[in-house]
């Protein structure tokens, strides 16, 4: 599928993890956005075109699975996340991975399944920065929350906005890193609902949305946060510890493997809600756990 000089490349498995949809920008030069879609297509592109730039919306592994196919490209990454593109330790810090078991597991996963290597030719980009490639203009739209530097890419001539992991999936927003920010995510969603574009492209699942579809999808996506909070407050009619809440699978809805990975992410998302409840005076923490104030 093409939108003028912008090619939409669907990810394997319908763009579900560990893949995502990519864009290829055919201007005076060939650029790629989030190369984690289709290995064969991207490998063919690398063999037949001089890909000079790769733009990454954020540091998550399922958006850079095939970085290694473009060894001669310059990589453009969000400035707040530079450390995660240069070392495993930077990734661990942003994700909040402290246990040795988790670090060892994630290190092997990144090396084996995602071909992680520090990016040698790296250029940090800033909010609002503009890049030009022939008839293509790419503007950096900051959408923090999912990660600190998470960015959308706007192409004004094509009236197209790439949403990255504001993916409008039924699962809803994901904010399971230590560096994720729930309030910033909600603010980003509010700004995006007011954004004028003809076409919206998300990195996972459905992928392509018209303006009315995107606005409806953004409203539903944001409502997921409200629904999670309502269910969580209902659980807190009785005191519950964080491990007890994690075991209820309020976010993921069912057990997933490996359990220690998903427990970690579930716990970090729940903790962000609990901290917000406490700031608002809705919940107190006792020796028995978190408890809804009556």
Strand partners, 7: 2, 24
DSSP 38: -
Q: What is the mean predicted confidence (pLDDT) over 2-10?
A: 97
pLDDT at 121 over 90: no
Q: What is the mean predicted confidence (pLDDT) over 74-92?
A: 97
Q: Which residue has the tokens 């309030």?
A: 183
The CA-atom distances, in angstroms, between 160 and each of 78, 168, 196, 222, 232 are 20, 16, 9, 21, 37
Q: What is the mean predicted confidence (pLDDT) over 71-82?
A: 97
Domains of the chain, by residue range, sit at: 2-221, 236-292
Q: Which CATH number fits domain 2-221: 3.60.15.10, 1.20.120.420, 3.90.1150.10, 3.40.50.12780?
A: 3.60.15.10
Q: What is the mean predicted confidence (pLDDT) over 227-235?
A: 96
pLDDT band at 229; cut points 50, 70, 90: very high
pLDDT band at 294; cut points 50, 70, 90: confident
Burial (CB < 10 A; 0-12, 13-18, 19+), residue 135, is middle
pTM of the predicted structure, to 2 decimals: 0.95
pLDDT at 12 over 80: yes
Element (H, E) at 210: strand 208-210
- Average confidence score pLDDT of the chain: 96
For 199, the token pair is 């076409």
Which residue, 128, 135, 130, 203, is CA-closest to 164? Answer: 203
Burial (CB < 10 A; 0-12, 13-18, 19+), residue 102, is middle
Count Cα atoms within 13 angstroms, Cβ side, for 49.
Answer: 20
pLDDT value for 22: 98
Q: What backbone phi and psi angles, to 5 degrees, belong to 104?
A: -65, -45
pLDDT band at 225; cut points 50, 70, 90: very high
pLDDT band at 7; cut points 50, 70, 90: very high
Distance in angstroms (rounded) separating the CA atoms of residues 290 and 210: 42
Q: Reduced to 3 states, what is the DSSP secondary structure of residue 113?
A: helix
pLDDT at 81 over 80: yes
Distance in angstroms (rounded) separating the CA atoms of residues 245 and 178: 18
DSSP 67: G
Which residue, 193, 178, 247, 202, is CA-closest to 223? Answer: 193
DSSP 240: B
Q: What is the mean predicted confidence (pLDDT) over 20-49?
A: 97
């Amino acid at each position: 599928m093409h939108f003028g000089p912008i090619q939409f490349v669907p990810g394997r498995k319908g763009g579900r993890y560990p893949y995502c949809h990519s864009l290829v920008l055919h201007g005076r030069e060939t650029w790629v956005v989030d190369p984690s879609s289709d290995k064969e297509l991207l490998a063919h592109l690398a063999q037949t075109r001089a890909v000079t730039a790769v733009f990454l919306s954020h540091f998550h592994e399922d958006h850079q699975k095939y970085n290694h196919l473009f060894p001669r490209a310059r990589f453009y990454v969000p400035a707040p996340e530079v450390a995660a593109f240069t070392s495993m330790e930077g990734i661990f810090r942003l994700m909040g991975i402290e246990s040795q078991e988790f670090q060892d597991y994630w290190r092997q996963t990144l090396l084996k399944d995602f071909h992680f290597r520090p990016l040698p030719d790296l250029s940090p980009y800033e909010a609002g920065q503009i890049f030009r490639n022939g008839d293509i203009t790419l503007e950096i739209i900051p959408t923090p929350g999912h990660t600190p530097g998470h960015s959308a890419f706007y192409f004004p001539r094509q009236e197209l906005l790439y949403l990255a992991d504001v993916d409008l999936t039924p699962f809803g927003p994901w904010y399971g890193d230590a560096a994720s920010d729930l309030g910033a995510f909600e603010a980003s969603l509010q700004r995006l609902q007011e954004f004028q574009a003809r076409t919206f492209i998300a990195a996972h699942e459905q992928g392509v949305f018209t303006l009315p579809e995107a606005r409806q999808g953004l409203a539903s996506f944001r409502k997921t946060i409200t629904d999670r909070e309502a269910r969580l407050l209902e659980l807190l009619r009785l005191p519950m510890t964080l491990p007890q809440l994690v075991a209820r699978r309020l976010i993921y809805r069912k057990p997933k493997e490996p359990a220690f990975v998903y427990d970690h992410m579930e716990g970090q998302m729940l903790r962000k809600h609990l901290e917000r409840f406490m700031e608002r005076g809705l919940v107190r923490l006792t020796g028995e756990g978190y408890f809804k104030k009556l």
